[in-house]
Amino acid sequence: MVISRLCPHCGRSHETVRHALKELFIQDIPSHGKSVAIHLNVPRLRCKPCDQTFTATVPEIDTIRQMTERLVKWVGRQSLE
């Protein structure tokens, strides 16, 4: 899993340092009829040039819904059936 260190404020990625950890609980596709939750420790980063903190982004996660992108697609397909 690749985590982006790109600063959303100034666009720099090579001048960020780890600030803290943020725990995320993400829902995923059900397996064998049971719900699946993924526990992630995502780094909080601080950008040295602009002195802003932000949470690193994980591309496979839909942060608005707190679920994986494959679960979003699966729910969409299930709603059409």
What is the predicted pLDDT for the residue at 38? 92
Residue 72's pLDDT is: 92
The pLDDT, as a whole number, for residue 1 is: 60
pLDDT tens-place values along the chain, 81 residues long: 677 788 888 887 778 888 899 998 999 999 998 999 999 898 999 998 888 999 888 888 887 888 999 999 999 998 998
Q: pLDDT value at position 68?
A: 93
SS3 content of the chain, % helix, strand, coil (to 5): 15, 50, 35
Are 24 and 42 in contact by the 8 Å Cβ rule? The answer is yes
Side-chain half-sphere CA neighbours of 39 within 13 A: 0
Domain positions in the chain are 16-80
